[in-house]
Amino acid sequence: IRIKLYILDTGLNPILTFIDKKDISLKEGLSRFNYDLGKINLCAGKYSFSIVVLNLKDRKTLVRLENITPFSVIDGNHEWAPVTNFLN
């Protein structure tokens, strides 16, 4: 399988995608995954996570969970785009 993690805006539009490039084998029962997403420069707004689990053999979605752990970013940075990277 392959796992994709998305950050969604309030309209449930994906604004960032994180793709685990490793092929993962699941065993029966509960599985746990930990990812370090690093620093993300989100602008002020409301966001949530979405997780997609894909079967690599037939490229079908096995599980899709949306609006997981909604969170807010409160900041003085109000750019038009939801993600801002500052250049030197």
What residue type is assigned to position 69 of the chain? Answer: T
| Interior angle at CA 10, CA 6 and CA 16, nearest 5 | 25
pLDDT digits (tens, 9 = 90+) for 3-34: 999 999 999 999 999 988 887 877 778 878 88
Taking the CA atoms of the chain, what radius of gyration do you get in angstroms? Answer: 15
pLDDT digits (tens, 9 = 90+) for 51-76: 999 988 898 999 999 999 999 988 76
Q: Is the Cβ–Cβ distance between 61 and 53 less than 8 Å?
A: yes
Provide the sign of the torsion angle of the four alpha carbons 57, 58, 63, 65, taken in this order. positive
User: Tokens standing for 62?
Assistant: 């096995």
- Pairing assessment for the beta strands 14-19 and 45-55 based on DSSP bridges: unpaired
